[in-house]
Chains A and B, each alone.
Chain A
């Protein structure tokens, strides 16, 4: 899964989480403010990411992650560790 696909998947998950259309996202956007995520949405997004990609994300790993790009970097690193596993949509 390349970066563009990953970004698209994130956009889908944000839309599922918030229930609202999400405009195209870029790596330099603020993960919470730009995507309109509150703390519960962020929790849901991480849970959904873990389920969709069969990865585990620890709360400490999210410390300091403020931008979309940082989050995608983390997911990419996790996928690289465990192999690209995605849940059937």
Chain B
């Protein structure tokens, strides 16, 4: 069933925000940067364009990063936008399928006017799943903001049977966040250049997602009694597609 009534959407949006605030208290966040990236919760980190897969939209909202997130103009997007509004997260409406050009222009304007982060789900709102669309590359080139793909893993979560296999992290589970190295995109790229950077960003986003999922799987498999505060075993750094040097563990507030 699709919600269409604007008043109902506002009410449900508020309920979703309340649910997220309560739910957020019941999941544990573990956040790591890689060598040149900085913690997502570091207020002094350089402002960037953060990339999250559409399936992890809820977990992204849980981070409550001050910034602007692009939300689709579809009815489902309106619900998420309302929830973001109540959580103090700025939204720009649009996607690659509806109003994408205008949304990119608005994101570029906010990048210049506000010292806040931008967040985009580059495969939303309709997929293909985990495929980066070219809009984010163009936006990064124009604004000069680096692109930071963020991977997420879940120790306990429910996945919908939607195109993106949308994730609902369950209470008392853990969410692992891993930020890849920022990718700076030159301005004025032609189509071939845009495609080259699109592929580079996509490869980085896929790699960092796989790494975060491995991390979550390890956390889920290690008995709680034997797990210390810094027990994440780092993989083979020489062969890992994600630079894991310089990691440190941080637990978000419970």
Contacts and interface: CB of A to CB of B under 8 A. Distances in A.
A39 B100 contact: yes
B138 A40 contact: yes
Interface string A9-43: 00000000011000000000000000001111111
Given A40-B134, A40-B135, A62 B102 contact: yes
A43 B138 contact: yes
A15 B133 CA distance: 21
Interface stretch (B7-15, B27-35, B105-113, B148-156): B105-113
B108 A39 contact: no
A40 B101 contact: yes
Interface of A: 18-19, 37-44, 46-47, 57-59, 62-63
Nearest to B137: A40
B87 interface: no
Contacts of B108: 43, 47
14 contacts: A18-B191, A19-B191, A37-B101, A39-B96, A39-B99, A39-B135, A40-B134, A41-B101, A43-B135, A46-B105, A47-B105, A47-B108, A47-B142, A62-B105
Nearest to A46: B105
Nearest to B194: A40
For the complex, would chain B's binding face be called helix, strand, loop or mixed by DSSP majority? helix
A57 B109 CA distance: 10
A20 B105 CA distance: 23
B161 to A, nearest CB: 28
B103 interface: yes
B100 A40 contact: yes
B104 interface: yes
Contacts, number: 51
Contact of A44 (B100, B109, B138): B138
Interface residues of B, number: 20
A57 B105 contact: yes
A59 B191 contact: no
Contact of B101 (A19, A43, A58): A43
Contacts of B190: 19
The 10 A-B pairs of least Cβ separation, nearest first, read: A39-B100, A42-B101, A59-B106, A43-B104, A39-B101, A59-B105, A59-B102, A43-B101, A40-B134, A40-B138
Interface string B163-184: 0000000000000000000000
Interface string B76-106: 0000000000000000000010011111111
Contact of A59 (B109, B135, B139): B109
A18 B190 CA distance: 8
Contacts of B103: 59
Nearest to A56: B109
A63 B99 CA distance: 9
Nearest to B96: A39
B102 A40 contact: no
Given A19-B190, A58-B109, A63 B102 contact: yes
A63 B101 CA distance: 11
B101, B190, B194 — most chain A CB neighbours (10 Å): B101
A18, A38, A40 — most chain B CB neighbours (10 Å): A40
A43 B142 CA distance: 10
